[in-house]
């Protein structure tokens, strides 16, 4: 029986983050995750988590300035990138979040590669004493053209090069189906380095109840692999979040 985490970056966005946590609990989710919670008082989030018994599984580092999508692969922006990493760790500790997605940003080339690896090394070293896992996530080139990281093979190469045990892959089935396909085989091969899995329908990124991925088959495959952590529901509802939740009890 799969467990699910509600990604509050896309679900119940009309509510405050604490109220969205309560809505996710009422709907039957096993955990929550978010994108950028930094404008919300962490005490209010912590109170909602304590009230519901849910864990905030993950959050993202800051996107940076307007038009940016992360900082950690941007040459000459190491100070900003590491400040964003420090901010994310501080916030995660305040609300008991075990995973931080370090966003790479729009960049390319060897200098960007070296910058990203150095900043990930920093993130892992800062997070390790607190038991926090650092995640990197390939994003597809349609939704995020120019993003530094777009394939699972590139992510694997970076994880191996950095060589820190708390650096893992965020395996977003939506992004990787668009970029690579062959999702079940990739899950099998990459399971040792996967830190979190996310789902949405492909190609429209709506509820995971239609489209070119058979999610029931996918869940059975993950169960056979022994994956027992909550799967992140990171999709954009076709109407309201509540109206689209008929997939969850199924």
Residues annotated catalytic, as ranges: 137, 234
Nearest of 227, 163, 159, 222 to residue 193 by alpha carbon: 159
Q: Please, are residues 86 and 61 in contact by the beta-carbon 8 Å criterion?
A: no
Chain mean position to CA 32: 11
Beta bridge partners of 194: 169
Tell me the backbone φ, ψ of residue 168, rounded to 5 degrees: -135, 170
Where would I find the beta strands (DSSP E) of the chain?
4-7, 31-33, 58-60, 99-101, 133-136, 167-172, 194-199, 231-233
For 249, the 3-state DSSP assignment is coil
Nearest-5° angle of CA 44, CA 235, CA 64? 60
């Amino acid at each position: 029986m799969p467990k699910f985490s509600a990604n509050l970056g896309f679900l119940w966005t009309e509510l405050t983050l604490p109220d969205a946590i309560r809505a996710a609990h009422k709907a039957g989710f096993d955990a929550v995750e978010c994108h950028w919670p930094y404008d919300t008082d962490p005490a209010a989030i912590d109170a909602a988590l304590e009230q519901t018994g849910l864990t905030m599984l993950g959050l993202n580092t800051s996107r940076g300035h307007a038009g940016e999508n992360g900082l950690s692969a941007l040459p000459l922006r190491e100070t900003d990138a590491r400040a964003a990493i420090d901010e994310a760790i501080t916030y995660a500790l305040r609300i008991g979040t075990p995973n931080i997605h370090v966003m790479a940003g729009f960049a390319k080339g060897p200098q960007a590669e070296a910058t990203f690896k150095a900043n990930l090394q920093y993130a892992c070293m800062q997070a390790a004493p607190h038991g926090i896992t650092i995640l990197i996530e390939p994003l597809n080139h349609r939704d995020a053209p120019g993003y530094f990281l777009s394939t699972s093979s590139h992510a694997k190469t970076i994880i191996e090069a950095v060589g820190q045990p708390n650096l893992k892959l965020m395996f977003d089935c939506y992004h990787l189906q668009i970029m690579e396909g062959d999702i079940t085989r990739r899950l099998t091969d990459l399971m040792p380095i996967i830190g979190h899995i996310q789902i949405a329908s492909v190609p429209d990124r709506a509820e995971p109840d239609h489209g070119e991925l058979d999610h029931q088959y996918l869940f059975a495959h993950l169960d056979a692999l022994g994956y027992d952590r909550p799967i992140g529901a990171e999709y954009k509802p076709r109407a309201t979040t509540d109206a689209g939740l008929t997939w969850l009890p199924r």
